[in-house]
Amino acid sequence: MGDSRAHIDQDFIFPPFDDLCMEENGASSTVQPPSDTILQTSDDVSFYVHRTLLDSKSNNNFGGLLVYGVMCALRGARSLYMLEETASVLNIVLHILYGISSRRYCPDIPVISQAFDMLIKYGCPLSTCVLSKSEIFVDLVSHASDPESDPLEMYTLAASKGFEELAVPCSSFALRTPISSIENDAAIAMGAIYLWRLVKLHNERRQTLKRLLLQPPRAHEDTTACDKERRNGVIRAYGLTAGYAALQPTVMVTGDWIGDVFEKMIQNVGCGLCRDDVRSKVQSIIACWANAKRTI
């Protein structure tokens, strides 16, 4: 994600929705009617918006603001309401509600978290306002998939908001962190239910991996070059390699990693038929592991 480099100061007014509202893909646009509402943030930035859009996205009249809120002033034909939130947070919220890109503002995770809190507060369900095809949703999942990012960050964010649609895809990347390495703060933030579901996913994948690994490969019939004693030696070598693979601290091992681990063992097997048997078994493991459950 970004680092919120594009700050909003007192001279900034929200993008001119009065004239044009660009869709996320930039392929088409629709003309909006003149704005009829002004939202003024705690840091004195005004956002010119449309009451009908806020009403349509919210299930509680935008936190009751548009029904029970105190209208502070009139600016021409526009009603003005004061908000507790800052401009950087409201800016992202409005970009989400209007369905336009906020990438140029480089919102960081804390700002996005606050924006999600604001959406919830003002009755805008994350599941309907932040759709899986939306830019910000795609960016969050992409951030979770980045091997350089904190594997738990996105899952914890989604879990703490009860945002199931985001938590599910992010749980796959959260598997990079062993359960024993989850800090108390992260466990508390994600809550008991989502923590339990993540632990359950870890355990299910570990048991699946063990089941796949610990069943030995098929053994061929005796030949002049390879008798039962030699085949038993291959089975023992396979068992040691499988045990090593099964005891990895993370359940995010890849098929390529499994193949590489066993290939080192296979190269030391003298019998060609035994090598084929072990390779066939490893290929079966990799295929089954690719289909193993990887999300909560």
pLDDT, one tens digit per residue, over 161-197 is: 999 999 999 999 999 999 999 999 999 999 999 999 9
Q: Name the amino acid, one letter, at 268.
A: N
What's the pLDDT score for residue 35? 79
* Residues forming CATH 3.30.710 domain(s) in the chain: 1-126
Backbone φ, ψ for residue 243 (5° rounding): -65, -40
What's the pLDDT score for residue 10? 46
Res. 103 pLDDT band, cuts 50 70 90: confident
Residue spans of alpha helices (H) in 72-183: 87-98, 109-121, 126-129, 135-145, 153-160, 164-174
Q: Which CATH architecture has domain 1-126?
A: 2-Layer Sandwich (3.30)
Q: How far apart are CA 69 and CA 63, in angstroms?
A: 9
Of the candidates 281, 208, 286, 284, the residue with the CA atom closest to the CA atom of residue 254: 286
Q: ∠ CA(289), CA(217), CA(200), 5° rounding? A: 30
Instruction: Give yes or no for residue 34 having a pLDDT over 90.
Output: no
Of the candidates 191, 195, 136, 189, the residue with the CA atom closest to the CA atom of residue 166: 136
Q: Name the amino acid, one letter, at 108.
A: D
pLDDT, one tens digit per residue, over 60-85 is: 999 888 876 556 555 556 788 889 99
What's the pLDDT score for residue 288? 96
